[in-house]
Structure 1
Amino acid sequence: MSCSRPLLATILALGASLVAALPATAKSHDIELKLRIAAPPPGPRVVALTFDACSGAIDQRILNLLVENRIPATLFVTHRWMKRNAATMSTLMAHPELFQIENHGDQHVPAITDIPSLYGVKTAGSLEAVQKEVDGGASAIQQATGKPPRWFRGATAVYSRDALDQIRADGYEVAGFSLNADMGASLPAATVAKRIAAAKSGDVIIAHINQPGHPAGLGVVEGIKRLAASGAVFVKLDDVQTQASN
């Protein structure tokens, strides 16, 4: 059976609109970096907890656990999150032995130039916009902490090659991860707890500390408790040698 030209045109237009409505995915040459602790010593598991604070608030469930149990972590914070969470920044600054504060950008814009959006988030779109995002976050952190950040992790943790090269040329270590604990705070608590508790020695774990209304935070707390009970050793990124790969 053949379609009339008007009907065929309508079908093609509908198909195009459905495709356009789908969330963009990274191009095959865009990069999500892996990062591990290089050559962790034998014995208890050694893991690095890293948290993104993109926007929103602070998950006190996670923060209280870290402070009360003296568990170190590296936090990647955006300028916009810092502006909304001054009290939490004061808490972090009061515990420099626990918290390493690093650059998650100015406005949580992915450092990607070759697609317009990723996972529903508008990308930088140009190297100039990537530079603005990186510099804005760095300036805010230096003003708050008194020292420049060493590490950068962009929104979505995916980079176009040109953006990645530029960020590294500016002197940053770019923070990937080896274990995604909560998939943007979207997973159920039980799943998150299981993922974290199963971490291997040398893992760099990524989770989110800015979604207090999501069940994932409870899973982060439970997973960390299980790791601690097993004798795991927690480190900040600056405490260890790391190894990055694509």
Structure 2
Amino acid sequence: MTAPILRQDRHPLQKLLCALALSILAASSVHAAPLVEPTLHLKAEDRGSAGRVALTLDACGGQTDTRILSALVENRIPATIFVTGIWLKRNAAAVEIMRAHPDLFELENHGGHHIPAVDTPRKIYGIRSAGSPEAVQAEVESGAAALARTGEPAPKWFRGATAEYSPSAIAMIRKLGFKIAGFSINGDGGSLLGAKETARRIAAAKDGDVIIAHINQPTHAAGEGVVEGLLALKAKGLTFVRLDDADGIGNDGTTE
């Protein structure tokens, strides 16, 4: 008579333990879901030259590194600038310089508030993610709206803060009509590298590479290295192109 009673006592407990285990596993899988850091290369073209590279510069917040901006204008080096709404508000003079040289500068969407385009709650490099699909959409659309207020053409490209994404956020951003800008060379390590290492990385670019660096940290040594590396590439005869002047091929569904 005791065996059925014991089984009845254990049954609810077993169900509870199983439910707890499943909930912990589900929560762990959400937080452990891998993020994507997409790459981007330019489609190869047989031009009989040293090759083409695309320079992309993030303007996350802060001010403008005039060392880089002046070098681009003086040396006629085209660049795609990914701007946030925050940076646009603080750097009207730099925006006017860029708009005065439409043959050199293409302004694209880096989000409204520099929030990573990750639709689950977490931190990436210490920055809190958007945390939900709705928040990712708001970040993308507010960045585009900030650019529209400057009178710039509607952006075609998006790069999120930290350049890391959840796969579902990538799908959403593509549905909003944006290509997602990865890269093949991290030129300045988030503007944290020294001048020498930054210059070495950028100067090593080859045909088809897409370089990422930053133009919003005027006090960092990396800015000096950005200029040095770009001038080295120019001396080698490489051609600089903006993203809207070339076919970029990205992985993880970011451009197709």
Which category describes the TM-score, using the shorter chain as reference length? 0.7 to 0.9
Distance in 2, Cα, partners of 1:99 & 1:43: 23
TM-score by length of 2: 0.84
Distance across 1 between alignment mates of 2:180 and 2:148: 18
Amino acid at match of 2:192: S
Aligned match of 1:8 = none
Contact 1:187 1:216 in 2 (8 A): yes
The Cα shift of 1:162 comes to: 1.2
SS in 2 for 1:111: coil
User: What CA RMSD, in Å, does the superposition of the two structures yield over aligned residues?
Assistant: 1.2
SS of equivalent to 1:149: coil
Instruction: Work out the CA distance in 1 between the residues paired with 2:212 and 2:111.
Output: 16
Residues of 2 paired with 1:34 and 1:64: CA distance?
28
Q: Which amino acid aligns with 1:193?
A: A
Identical-pair percentage: 52
Q: 1:48 to 1:27 in 2, by over 3 A?
A: farther
The aligned counterpart of 1:3 is: none
CA distance in 1, matches of 2:152, 2:216: 23
State the structure with more CA Rg.
Answer: 2
User: Following superposition, which runs of at least 4 residues in structure 1 exceed 6 angstroms of deviation?
Assistant: none
Q: Any idea what SS the aligned residue of 1:51 has?
A: strand
| Distance in 1 of aligned mates of 2:121 and 2:212 | 24
1:47 counterpart SS class: strand
| Aligned partners of 2:111 and 2:144 also within 8 Å | yes
Residue 161 of structure 1, CA deviation: 1.1
Asked if residue 81 in structure 1 is aligned to residue 93 in structure 2, the reply is: no
Quote how far apart the aligned CAs of 1:27 are: 4.6
Number of residues of Structure 1 aligned to a counterpart in Structure 2: 221
Q: For 2:150, what is the secondary structure of its paired residue?
A: helix
For residue 124 of structure 1, what is the amino acid of its counterpart? A
Deviation (angstroms), 1:28 = 5.5
**Shift in Å at residue 39 of structure 1?**
1.2
Which residue is 2:66 aligned to? 60
Q: Is the 8 A contact 1:55 1:210 kept in 2?
A: yes
Unpaired segments of 5 or more residues in structure 2? 1-30
Find the aligned partners of 2:85 and 2:232 in 1 and give their Cα distance.
32
User: Could you tell me how far 1:243 is from its partner in structure 2?
Assistant: 0.6
**Quick one: which amino acid aligns to residue 35 of structure 1?**
L
Gaps in structure 1 of 5+ consecutive residues:
1-25
Q: TM-score, normalization: structure 1?
A: 0.87
- Deviations 1:119-156 (CA, angstroms, capped at 9, x unpaired): 00011000111111011110011121342100000000
